[in-house]
Each structure stands twice: as C-alpha cells, then as structure tokens.
Structure 1
C-alpha cells in the first residue's frame, strides 16, 4: 500500500512538472522531431511528383491505364513490407538507425526510377522505394512521440504529416517547373530529384539522439536520462519522466507476457484494453486511406482532364493550388492539436471531408453530362478538392500518425504501430490501384459519392472509439482504453 501511495505521489509530481512546462516548447526536442519528420518528405514528394510524371511516362513508355495504376499503387503496396519489418527492426537496431535505413532504401529506389530504361526497371525502383517509405511512415511519428514531452507531443507527432504535405507541394512545383523540357527527360528529372532529400535526411539523422524509451528497453538508463534532461525543462522533470518510463517497462518484465512474442500478446488472448487499442489504431489507419485522399492526389490531373482542362501546365497549376491549401491547413492543425485536442479536430476533419466529397461528386456528375464544361462547375470542383484535402489535413492526416504512435504501450509500440501502418499502406495500395478502374464503372462522380459515404461511417467510428489523449504521458494513455470499472478502481486505490 505504501508503494502504491509513493508511486501515486511521484506520478502527481510528474504531472505537475509537465503542467508547468505546457506553454514552453523544448527546443532540443523540437529539433529532434523536425529531423526525424523530414523523413516523411520522401513519401510526400513521390505522391506529388508521380501524379504529374505519370502523364509523361505514359506517353514515353507507351503504358496502358492498368499499367499506370500498378505503377502508381505499387509503391503503397510495397511499403506494406517496410511497415511490417519496421517494428522488429526498430526494436533491434534502434529508432534512429531505422530512420537512416528508410532514407537509404528510398535513395536507391529513386535512382533506379530516374534512370529506368523501361517499365520493368521503373517498377523495380518503385518496389525498393516503397519499402523505404514503409519504414519511414512508421518510424518518424514513433520516434517523435517517444522523444516529445507530453504537453507538446500532439504538435511534434503531427510534424511527419506536415512534411508529407510539404513534399507533395514540392512535387507539384517540380511538375510545373520541368513540364517544358523534352518529354523523355522531364519525368526522369522529376523522379531523380527525390534522391536529394534522402541524402540529407540520412546524414542529418546521425546528430540525433536515440529514443529514451528504446534506451530504457535496452537497460541503458544513464543514456536515457541524458536525453530526457535535454528534452525536459528541468532535471527534476527528467527524473520524473525516467521513473515513469522505467516503472512501465519493469511492470512489463514482471508480467506473464514477458519474454513472449509481441505478436502473441497482440493477437493471442489480448486484454480488453489492448483489443480496444488495436481497433482504434487499425480503424483510424483504415479510414485514413479509405477516404481516397491519396488516390485523389495521384489522379487529380486525370479528374480535371476529364472535366475539360487539357493543357498539362494548367493541370499542374491546379495541383499547386491544392498543395498550397493542404500545406496551410496541416500546419494550422499541428499548431492547435495540443490546445483543442485530437477528437474535435478529427471529427471536424472527417465530417468536412464527407461534405466536400459529396459536392465534388455533384460537380463531377454535372461536368460529365455537360457538353460545354462551364467554368463555374470546374471552379466548384477545384474548390471542393481543395476543401477535401484541407479537411483531411486538419483531421485524419496529422492525427492518424499521432494516435498510431502514442496509444500502444512501450512493449508493443514499435510492432503495434507497424501493424497499424501496414493496414494503412495496404488500403492505400488497393485504393490507388483500383481507382481508375472503378471510375470507368461508376464514373468520377460515383466514386466521390462513395468516398463521402465512407467518411460518414468514419465520423461515427471516431466518435465512439477514439478517446482524447491530449496532455497525457505515453505511459498513462493505456488507461483510457481500460474498462470504466477498472479505471474507477484504480482511482480509488490511488486516493487511499
């Protein structure tokens, strides 16, 4: 009983320390989060640049629409492999070197894509780059969540999505800038430029510290404390955070699951709390990609080409407008995540997407049956697309990575997050590789209405299954997924 009281008092002191520093952004932790999150720019750049490059690849290599779908979606499907491997890899070699591995793999893929003499070589580059993307999508938010103080973790953990969005915008700008050079070179330059940030990221990561929670797992407590001192406002706060992390890990080592496979703990008789965490993590990652956001970005030139805009420069200009809107709103969301919380922004984003997609469906159907393609209808579709990606950037975009990286307990975090991100990649690949085929069956208008319906279901799911995690330490978040009775009993014990 005395031990329980002592732990409760220590936890209370830690919470008080965190509250004192809630308005301050630790500059060292922010620098580490920024460095790790730049890894995500690789995926964003590929999403943005391939949407324009594929128009020239189709003409240069004479590929069919099915080959185009496979080319675009293959990176997402292959990133599934990287996502599945990333959990075990990051537990073995550490979070920091996994980021280096992600950047290196993507660099090799980018070189192969840019120099590809034929479609099979281009596909080989997409496969390798996809594995690198899978690693980066899991490890960037995970590392950021583990190194961030609780009161600013929402902002810092949303930085990967900020950099994905910046990457998309850069891809659009590169499309626009190189559209005028010879057709057999422009798409190669567009794809080769992806290797430049990969080099910078791989080198920059070497100045980052290792995650303090991974160091605790490896019993390197003195190193963990040094990192926590740098990412905390005071040494007292660092001591409290170290004690909390250490107790959580020691509790796991003394549990029945200690020494057993993480996958067994996740799937073989998981506790009710772990089961709820799995449903929440897999659910939000599923709906992130089932929303069709990636497919809309990939095939937006195709959508507006069908709407009557034939010039590639004009198509790329619309992409730049959309990318600017997306980048603006993801930054706004990142800044307000720790103030307003995850749930309000998530619900606002998903409901806004449902409305925007229904308007886009109406506009697309009108243009499809209109011989004259009136300007007002095209403008309405452009505004609806910008609204769709903006609401995505307010809610699902950044918050999916925040939730995925923070709700799993330490012992399950790396592989649990990799599982959730694998679902993300699988759904993204399926949607990207079937989008054009489905639109031929039910039209662009039909598919946008279907996506709107999916977002209505997503909003209901988020309302019932996603608790608020704002301001809580990673070690405390698991309690949100426990039975109310269990939580109430815990409160009563701590108050004795």
Structure 2
C-alpha cells in the first residue's frame, strides 16, 4: 500500500494547471523588465539625436538600470520575507510604473536618468521575486519549466520592445522615444492590481505559522488532497515547524525573527554549513557567469553590431533586432519544454558549447569586416557576423539564460531562499551593468571582434565552473535539494525521482532543513 501511494503521489505531482497559471501571472512582471531592455536598445538611437548625448552618457543610461537594480534586489529578499511573495510582485509593478512614467515624460537627460533609476529598483524586485514565487508554488516535476518562465517573459518583453522601436520610430523625434519608454507604465498598473488575486506562497505561509492557509493553497495547486498533505509535511519539516504547535487548526504564530528573515545573512556568510557553502558558490556562480558570456552586449548593442557588419539603414537595423528577439523567445520556449525532461546540466553545458563557438565565429567575422575597406568587406564575413549573432542568441536562450534563474531559485533551503536569491540577483545585475556600461569602451580598446573573442574565453571558464561545481537538481523536491549538496564538490546526478517514489514511505530519505537526513 505504501508503494502504491508513493507511485500515485509521483504520478500526480506537477500536473496541476492552477499552479502553472499562478506562475505565469507571477512571471509577467519580467515582461516589463525585458521590454525596458529591448526598447532602450532602439530608443538610444533617437535619444542621442534628440538630447545630443555622448557615448559616455549612452553607456551610463544603458547600465544605470542594473546599478539601481542592486538596491531593489538587495532589499527585495527581506521585504518578501516580511510582506509575502505576492505583495512583493505587486510592489515591483508599482515601482516600475513610476519609473516608466518618468521616462515617458522626461523633458531632459537628467529626468530620463532618474526614471531609469526608479525602473531599475523595480527590475531588482522583479528578477528576485518571480522565480522564487514560481519555485515555491510549483511541484518538483514542473519546477524547472515554471522557474524558467521569467526568462521567456523577459525575452518576450525584449521582442515587444524591438517591435515598439520599429513601429514608433515613425513618430516625430520628440515623441517617438518617449512613447517607446512610457508604454511600460500601462501593463505595470494592470499587473499591480491583478496579482493580488493570486494565492500566497504556501512555503512563506508556513514560515509565518499560517499552516491552515498554506494547506488551503496546496490543495488548490495539487491534484490530490494526499499530495497536499505530503507536501505540507515536507515544508513544515524544512521550516523547523514539525511539532504540535504547527498543527493544522492551531492559531497562527506571532512572526519570529526567523520567519521575517532575520539572521539569514549571518547563516549564509559568517557560519555557513558545508552544504550551504556549496549551494552559495553554485547559485552565485551561475549569476556571475551569465553575463560574462556577452549576452547584454549582443542584446543592448545589437544595432551597433549589425551596423559594424554592414547593415546600413536605421530601418534595416531595427528590423534585424526584431529577428534577435524572435530567436531568443523561440529557443527559450524550447528550453522550457526540455529542462524537466533532460535535466539542467545537459542543457546548460550544451548551451555553453554553442555560445563558445558562436562568439569565436562572431569575433572572426567582425574582425575581417572591420579591417576591410569601407563597403568592401567579404560577403562571407558579413554573413558569418550576422548569422552568428542569431546562433549565439539561440545557444544562450536554450540553456544559460533560463537555467540560471531556474537553478538559482531552487537550490536554496527555505529559510535562506528569498534573501539568497536577492544576493544572486544583485550579483547578476552587477555583472550586467559591468558589461553594458563598458562594452563600447571595450570594443574601442580591443576592437569589436576582440571583445567577442574575450567573451568566448570567459564562456569556457563558465563551462568549467558549472561542470565541476553544480550538481543536477532535476526532479528533486525543494526540501531535498540541500541534501544533494552534502556529498562534496564533485557534480553528481541524484537518484531518479522514479526510484525515490517507488520506495516504501518508511524508507524515503528527506532533508530536515538543517542539512541532516531523517528517516
């Protein structure tokens, strides 16, 4: 009977469509972030002409979003531990609404920069909270897919931004770029209200001692009542609440220092256990390397890359960037379909192989074009330069892009998840800003082809890091992932989910939330 129930639990877990719908709504905030990135790549062409900005101002405008996202990301974890995951998504939308309105109404460069800063804070909140909410409300079998949703939303937003650039470029100069940037305010207002209809994360509710409410949510996102009960028991154990005071029907506890996130930074950075130390290295490392592959340089400065490759007119450049957005979106959708079937490691490492080859070929093609006489570059070099932009985008989008967010949102223990994710996002934004704010200066110093050769070499380092330090997490419940990291630094595949669920219930090993095993 125990085996039969375990099989039933494994068969049903992850099939509930309501959990997927909630994850999609929670990830919509990422569309706004992507839209701002995509639309700015084209808007900068018009801003430079209208406001007479120089290259330094353009780089600051491009990168300040990520600098200010540090403020959002470093505070979002503590805020979400305090007010909940759902309200944090609503807060992020409100902040982004204010930033978009400022940019859309900006009379000068200073106001535009201020609006970009405010939007950056909202971006920091959005990047942290969307994958965390998706990870906490979904089950193990679909977690990779739903935690990748923010990345496809970002890509979809970038695509919408490119399309907006192309369509709104026909407006008078003084209105065109302001309309491009201001449009982000409309969906922000809708999302800020709509997200309040979503359920709260059951794992956050358990941390607050609101077990009855957590069970109610779990029964809505699980296929069976038994599955909800099993998941609640696992969450309570991981949260350290598996005692009589946390039983269903008991009144909610008063918030404690632990439940509102106090002491987390001390546990992460001053006295981490060996498994936590390995988790932090893996989670922070994937964020550190994501932008060192050069994705921000290609997405934000793709118009300049296409110009360097020989595409001349502004209309052709903007049309080519739409192709970049379509490619990015299509291949992230492919990743979402594959990540829970073949695992994180195969997708991530094959993605890096494509990135390394694409960047090397892009560097070669742009070097040949740059050293040729004006308008006399070899056709093969022009074709290679344009084609490898698309192969790079495809390679990044099928692995490194979505898996960075999926992997980093699922590896933290419950008690560390929100604030650990916020630090990871801060690292991500620092690297994003470093690339976006220095790329123009970099390619002027080492040539544009040399810049992409450099990114190719850094991608080799990223592959080495992931291969040796990041174990597979496919199919593992969130409450068991800390145990995966308790076996040393060597990357290893965990036992299959099928094998685990076919064991009798009394023999299943789970994590008790403190890095120890319980029968």
TM range (shorter): over 0.9
The 8 Å contact of residues 18 and 151 in structure 1, kept in 2 or not, is answered as no
| Aligned residue runs from structure 1 range 376-391, under 5 A | 376-391=380-395
Q: Does 1:16 align with 2:7?
A: yes
Runs of 4+ in structure 1 over 4 Å off: 12-15, 251-254, 257-260, 490-496
**Tell me, what secondary structure is at the counterpart of 2:170?**
coil
The 8 Å contact of residues 309 and 386 in structure 2, kept in 1 or not, is answered as no
| Aligned residue runs from structure 1 range 480-491, under 5 A | 480-483=484-487
The 8 Å contact of residues 108 and 125 in structure 1, kept in 2 or not, is answered as yes
Q: Does 1:358 align with 2:360?
A: yes
Supply the distance in 2 between the matched residues of 1:425 and 1:213 (Cα, whole angstroms): 27
In structure 1, the partner of 2:319 is 317
Q: Does 1:37 align with 2:41?
A: no
In structure 2, the partner of 1:88 is 78
In structure 2, the partner of 1:335 is 337
Supply the distance in 2 between the matched residues of 1:201 and 1:174 (Cα, whole angstroms): 20
The 8 Å contact of residues 36 and 99 in structure 1, kept in 2 or not, is answered as yes
Name whichever of 377-386 and 13-22 sits farther off. Answer: 13-22
In structure 2, the partner of 1:475 is 479
Supply the distance in 2 between the matched residues of 1:92 and 1:418 (Cα, whole angstroms): 14
RMSD: 2.4
Gaps of 5+ in 2: 246-256, 496-507, 511-515
Supply the distance in 1 between the matched residues of 2:368 and 2:419 (Cα, whole angstroms): 46
Cα-to-partner distance string for 1:40-97 (whole Å, 9 max, x where unaligned): 0011101111000000000000000010000000001110110000000000000000
The 8 Å contact of residues 365 and 385 in structure 2, kept in 1 or not, is answered as yes
Question: What is the CA-CA distance between 1:251 and the residue it aligns to?
Answer: 6.3
In structure 2, the partner of 1:179 is 169
Supply the distance in 2 between the matched residues of 1:415 and 1:495 (Cα, whole angstroms): 26
Cα-to-partner distance string for 1:91-127 (whole Å, 9 max, x where unaligned): 0000000000000000100010111011110000000
Name whichever of 372-381 and 109-118 sits farther off. Answer: 372-381
Supply the distance in 2 between the matched residues of 1:395 and 1:198 (Cα, whole angstroms): 28
Question: What is the CA-CA distance between 1:310 and the residue it aligns to?
Answer: 2.4
Cα-to-partner distance string for 1:432-453 (whole Å, 9 max, x where unaligned): 1001011100011000000000
In structure 2, the partner of 1:53 is 43
Q: Does 1:291 align with 2:287?
A: no
Question: What is the CA-CA distance between 1:258 and the residue it aligns to?
Answer: 5.9
Supply the distance in 1 between the matched residues of 2:25 and 2:340 (Cα, whole angstroms): 20
In structure 2, the partner of 1:457 is 461
Question: What is the CA-CA distance between 1:25 and the residue it aligns to?
Answer: 2.9
Question: What is the CA-CA distance between 1:377 and the residue it aligns to?
Answer: 2.3
In structure 2, the partner of 1:411 is 415
Cα-to-partner distance string for 1:345-399 (whole Å, 9 max, x where unaligned): 0101111101100000000001001111344322221210111111111111111
Supply the distance in 2 between the matched residues of 1:361 and 1:162 (Cα, whole angstroms): 27
The 8 Å contact of residues 83 and 422 in structure 1, kept in 2 or not, is answered as yes
Q: Does 1:147 align with 2:137?
A: yes
Question: What is the CA-CA distance between 1:466 and the residue it aligns to?
Answer: 1.1
User: Of the candidates 95, 120, 123, which is equivalent to residue 113 of structure 2?
Assistant: 123
Name whichever of 294-303 and 155-164 sits farther off. Answer: 294-303
The 8 Å contact of residues 110 and 194 in structure 1, kept in 2 or not, is answered as yes
The 8 Å contact of residues 249 and 411 in structure 1, kept in 2 or not, is answered as yes
In structure 1, the partner of 2:503 is none
In structure 2, the partner of 1:423 is 427
In structure 2, the partner of 1:197 is 187
| Aligned residue runs from structure 1 range 96-245, under 5 A | 96-245=86-235
Supply the distance in 2 between the matched residues of 1:247 and 1:308 (Cα, whole angstroms): 60
The 8 Å contact of residues 363 and 378 in structure 1, kept in 2 or not, is answered as yes
Question: What is the CA-CA distance between 1:308 and the residue it aligns to?
Answer: 2.6
Q: Does 1:370 align with 2:372?
A: yes
In structure 2, the partner of 1:326 is 328
The 8 Å contact of residues 14 and 240 in structure 1, kept in 2 or not, is answered as no
C-alpha spacing 1:449/1:243, structure 2 compared with 1 (3 Å) = same
In structure 1, the partner of 2:236 is 246
**Tell me, what secondary structure is at the counterpart of 1:414?**
helix
Supply the distance in 2 between the matched residues of 1:484 and 1:287 (Cα, whole angstroms): 22
In structure 2, the partner of 1:4 is none
In structure 2, the partner of 1:439 is 443
**Tell me, what secondary structure is at the counterpart of 2:476?**
coil
Supply the distance in 2 between the matched residues of 1:13 and 1:94 (Cα, whole angstroms): 36
In structure 2, the partner of 1:305 is 307
Supply the distance in 2 between the matched residues of 1:476 and 1:299 (Cα, whole angstroms): 41
Question: What is the CA-CA distance between 1:16 and the residue it aligns to?
Answer: 3.5
The total of aligned residue pairs comes to 483
The 8 Å contact of residues 483 and 517 in structure 2, kept in 1 or not, is answered as no
How does the TM-score come out when normalised to structure 1?
Answer: 0.93
C-alpha spacing 1:484/1:51, structure 2 compared with 1 (3 Å) = closer
Question: What is the CA-CA distance between 1:184 and the residue it aligns to?
Answer: 1.5
Supply the distance in 2 between the matched residues of 1:14 and 1:72 (Cα, whole angstroms): 54
User: Of the candidates 378, 393, 397, which is equivalent to residue 397 of structure 2?
Assistant: 393
How does the TM-score come out when normalised to structure 2?
Answer: 0.89
**Tell me, what secondary structure is at the counterpart of 2:239?**
helix
The 8 Å contact of residues 14 and 237 in structure 1, kept in 2 or not, is answered as no
The 8 Å contact of residues 252 and 411 in structure 1, kept in 2 or not, is answered as no
Supply the distance in 2 between the matched residues of 1:244 and 1:407 (Cα, whole angstroms): 16
